Amino acid sequence: MSNDNYAESELYKIRHSAAHVMAEAVRDLFPEAKLAIGPPIEDGFYYDFDLGKDENGKPRTFSEDDLANIDKRFKQLLKKNAPFNQSSMKVADALEFFKEEPYKVELIEDLVKNEGVEEVGIYQHREFADLCRGPHVPFTKKVRHNAAQVLRTSGAYWRGDENREQLQRIYGTAFESKEDLQAFLEALEEAKERDHRRLGKQLGLFHISALVGSGLILWLPKGAMLRETLEQFMRKAQLDRGYLPVITPHIGSIELYKTSGHYEKYSKDQFPPITLDDDEEYMLKPMNCPHHIAIYDAEPRSYRDLPLRLAEFGTVYRYEKSGQLNGLTRVRGFTVDDSHLFVTPDQLEDEFIGVIELIKHVFTTMGMTDFEARLGVNDPESDKYIGGMDVWARGIAAIEAAAKAANMPYTIDVGEAAFYGPKLDFMVRDVLKREWQLGTIQVDFNLPERFGLEYTGEDGEKHRPIMIHRAPFGSMERFIGVLIEHFNGAFPLWMAPVQVTMVPIADRHIPYAEKVAGELRALGMRVEVDGSSDRMNKKIRNAQLQKIPYMLVVGDSEEEAGQVAVRTRDGGNLGTQDVAAFKLSALEKISTFARDL
């Protein structure tokens, strides 16, 4: 649903109205609460409150019990009908009317200052009046009490500014019907089940240690296996398309990033510089681009060398605030499947098309078939971009032409460009229909300029190359976080960290289980043998909990006949097969990236 349609929809009015009634409930129970703002959002609405300070001078918060009481009161109020009355008030009257509400006063003063208003809009139902432009439903009863719910609370800053007051936000939602609310709550529960932090622990994929540091991911053996499998897939896809591997260090001289402009643009988001005794300064690398540029610049280049496609799984570091860190999706160190293509102006469009096609290939193979592209362009009003307007226009035109040629539909997003050039971002919807920004391709005329890059053209003259930055996965950490939730931890066979668990029925079958495991490993498969003293059913259950695709049960009869009894993680029983037949079918599924077992 696009934002324009949503803002005009009945659902939007319902949620906006629900926010008022929920705020009314909060005021009934916490008369001292000051009101901030309460807009509808994508999945519902929120309202921010200031509850004052506790005895330690810390902002007071809502407890789980408070939330339950607010939800109860909210629903009682929804059952009692009342009309929403719209009116307007002269600014002076409104300031008097809201004099106990400092946040409303500030909003009114800003409206006067920024928009020169003389009157402000008020919506009132019962005793509850709010500064508001609407629109609302005509009666509170239009928000059905069995289709609305208080969801959760979190901290928030007034106007999103961490230097301003800390407020308490309550999220809620409302739908047109009870059934819609039920479906939403089930999806929420499903998302909790699939949470990559929970599955990451259960499946032994990754760990975050307070001793190592926040936001720094420790890949456990199975997670590392998964990541290596994805990297191998990408390395092969890149080699097939003429990319060349490079490897660069994790730090670089501060001069490098001053030249690139990263130092200035990212200074707030970086770890502080490392200063050596002799005044040399280094930085953890926030981006791989400057290092790849130095490789381009390591020798004289001619048009015959172009396009030059340099690729690296390059680890970069950003200083995310600890409150922003979240599992694999917001971290302080991450690895980008990064590549920089140095091209002539004539090559730009074809190379861009090639990258779009690679990204399509990657997402489709991963089983993420629901994606679209967004073209991020510069905001002409903003001064955060480097480079002239003509250069930006050329970049945008090249991306549009490439996207059309590659049959990749896109929408345009003003202000979403990188600081050095326009970009095409890929938005992927997972099985729960949640949208993730994953791959990205960017055109850059600016860094080649800043570094004075050149190549000798066919005409014998010096020319400036254009750079394409691209990363289909984006961050490996974030991508794997999304994959874990997308597949609910049950990865396709080719991707699964452990593909087969051998289940010997008794200890005397362990040697045969090991022998079959050895044969499968020789074919490149990832196999474990469960040599524990557990009974067969327990071994199968354990493997299923680990979401291992195949369990091969072996007992006397299987051993005698050179066979295995094949079970699948979803409870399927494929019966007894010759080892050779199992190998053939498994290898077929692996080589075709099959998603079914």
Residue numbers at the binding site for Zn ion (CB under 5 A): 132, 289, 469
Peptide bond into 135 cis (omega under 30): yes
Distance of CA 421 to the CA centre of its chain: 22
Q: Considering the complex, state which of residue 39 and residue 213 has its C-beta at the smaller distance from Zn ion.
A: 39
Q: Considering the complex, state which of residue 244 and residue 506 has its C-beta at the smaller distance from Zn ion.
A: 244
Q: How far is the CB of 34 from Zn ion (least distance, A)?
A: 17
DSSP 96-156: HHTTT-HHHHHHHHHHHHHH--SEEEEEEETTEEEE------SBGGGS-GGGEEEEEEEEE
The closest alpha carbon to 335, from 323, 349, 317, belongs to: 317
Q: How far is the CB of 167 from Zn ion (least distance, A)?
A: 17
Query: Is residue 373 within 8 Å of residue 381, measured between CB atoms?
Result: no
Q: Considering the complex, state which of residue 20 and residue 222 has its C-beta at the smaller distance from Zn ion.
A: 20
CB atoms within 10 A of CB 301: 18
Calpha distance 292→382 (Å, rounded): 28
Q: How far is the CB of 93 from Zn ion (least distance, A)?
A: 19
Q: Considering the complex, state which of residue 137 and residue 368 has its C-beta at the smaller distance from Zn ion.
A: 137
* Helix (H) / strand (E) containing 590: helix 579-591
Start-to-end CA distance of the chain, whole Å, equals 34
Where does 308-445 have alpha helices with state H? 348-365, 389-405
Q: How far is the CB of 514 from Zn ion (least distance, A)?
A: 47
Q: Considering the complex, state which of residue 477 and residue 559 has its C-beta at the smaller distance from Zn ion.
A: 477
Q: How far is the CB of 423 from Zn ion (least distance, A)?
A: 10
Structure-token match 């499947």, residue found? 337
Q: How far is the CB of 125 from Zn ion (least distance, A)?
A: 10
Residues sharing a CB contact under 8 Å with residue 398, sequence separation 6 or more, in sequence order: 348, 349, 352, 443
| Sign (positive or negative) of CA dihedral 150, 151, 155, 159 | negative
Q: Considering the complex, state which of residue 312 and residue 485 has its C-beta at the smaller distance from Zn ion.
A: 312
Q: How far is the CB of 437 from Zn ion (least distance, A)?
A: 16
Q: Considering the complex, state which of residue 234 and residue 289 has its C-beta at the smaller distance from Zn ion.
A: 289
Amino acid at 156: A
Calpha distance 582→523 (Å, rounded): 12
Q: Considering the complex, state which of residue 223 and residue 421 has its C-beta at the smaller distance from Zn ion.
A: 421
Q: How far is the CB of 16 from Zn ion (least distance, A)?
A: 5
